[in-house]
Structure 1
């Protein structure tokens, strides 16, 4: 099977999968489940490449393990979060319901298909590395694996700290500014982006690996400008008001940095 055919088949398969997720989301009236599907889809994609492409097995095995572990951790975390609030939908999708009120279902169906295509595009590092026939792992791959370990550990810690904060009834209505959240308003997003940087570094050891820069670049754009930080911050300001505005003045938005004095 040629690499082009593999790419075509996984694209068609993911589009079909996300259409099924859209049908389920419409039935349960909660479109936030697309985030769960998006996270798990990368593990499926990596496994498909590992079996269908012809690169050295050591590389395919290591990369697949990295992607599947990250995918399962993130997808399961999101599943617990989304289902714990169901049938109340994530605020970002409530906002889309208002913004897309005219022709909402059709626009949301296209949005789900865009999520499927984004998995293929963001999966470029997996595709490139899984084609690499070199038998020995390159220094870039070891560095990428080490960076991945740091990133997934940081993301897991940030998610754990936020969940623990929210479980305490005395923190209701307050802003989480403890642990990693004292250094960044979105440490989970920062370490999520760092995961993609790690995949890019891993891919640099392979021919055409430089094109994998598209993954961390797109993720960074989405987090900073589209569905990540902007919508999350809008929701936080609406729900927490001046407390969150004060947090914005004292705490770095993305990169973990020492807290600043409140100049407000």
Structure 2
């Protein structure tokens, strides 16, 4: 674990840089919701920077290995693929849309962009650094890595498939004019109201598992725990469902028959075989501090 303090400092600096760039982009474009698209790529940037920095730190010490090569490359690939997919999806989805109402409301209430820094970017940058602790540890753990890394990869792939397919199904549903005003309850959305948030949770549990062959890895258990708490109880599922319950007719019936998070066969509904109107949770995988919806 030689050089971990340097690596984690580099991760924190990278998170700060990502937040600063997203803030400047918001100032230039007049849309601070660009921070949502920066969430996934921010993790990818942290993974890449810590990969490089850990190698440089080891190279400066004679005979010092930068860590297990297989684990380092595996985790780097996992985070970059997840982060760039998520960022691209959100960027395309938000293209041409006005400022997110959440940010517009903040700006109107506080009268300046400083509130975005205090209420969104600072907590989001710290969260990005903290959640990425398993990634940082993976870059410096001395090998050989245990076979648990492949279990972690399997859990990660389950999550990546869930959020990718769930996002694609929701995007196709919303593009169809015939579905205007309806709720999405097809495909993966039939088995969980939040396949994207469930996928995000699996991704970060999988990344955490890749470092649990060492007690150093177990010290980062609060990182995936924080991500799951945000997804389920704070700014993901909870915020989306509060908004949907207030704006979408038939949403209560969808909640009654469909699992809230972990995929499960739907329960029978008094509305009929299909359980009422088709439905969507209205959310998509994205920033856990600034919820995507």
Asked if TM exceeds 0.5, the reply is yes
Q: Answer whether contact 2:10 2:53 (CA < 8 A) is retained.
A: no
2:78 aligns with one of 50, 66, 76: 66
2:178 maps to which of 170, 193, 209: 170
Determine if the alignment matches structure 1 residue 227 to structure 2 residue 235. yes
With over 3 angstroms needed to count, the CA separation of the structure-2 counterparts of 1:92 and 1:220, relative to structure 1, is farther
Q: Which moved more, 1:15-24 or 1:73-82?
A: 15-24
Pick which of 160-169 and 200-209 moved more.
200-209
Q: Show the counterpart of 2:25.
A: 24
User: Which stretch of the first structure deviates more once superposed, 228-237 or 164-173?
Assistant: 228-237
1:19-50 deviations in Å (ceiling 9; x for gaps): 23112213323222112111101111111121
SS of the residue corresponding to residue 220 of structure 2 reads helix
Deviation at residue 59 of structure 1 after TM alignment: 1.5
Contact kept? 2:163, 2:199, Cα under 8 Å: yes
Match of 1:134 in 2: 143
In structure 2, the residue matched to 1:90 is 100
Question: Any runs of at least 4 consecutive aligned residues in structure 1 with deviations exceeding 4 A, and if so which?
Answer: 94-98
Name stretches of at least 5 consecutive residues in structure 2 with no aligned partner: 55-65, 272-293
Please tell me whether the aligned partners of residues 144 and 199 of structure 1 are also in contact (alpha carbons under 8 angstroms): yes
Aligned partners of 2:107 and 2:113 also within 8 Å: no
Match of 1:145 among 150, 153, 158: 153
Q: What TM-score does the superposition give when structure 2 sets the normalisation length?
A: 0.81
RMSD: 2.0
1:259 to partner: Cα distance:
1.2
SS of residue paired to 1:41: helix
TM-score by length of 1: 0.90
Matched residues, number: 258
Task: State the shift of 1:63 in Å.
Answer: 1.1
Q: Do the aligned partners of 2:208 and 2:217 also contact (CA within 8 Å) in 1?
A: yes
Aligned to 1:252: 259
How far the C-alpha of 1:238 sits from its partner, in A, is 3.6
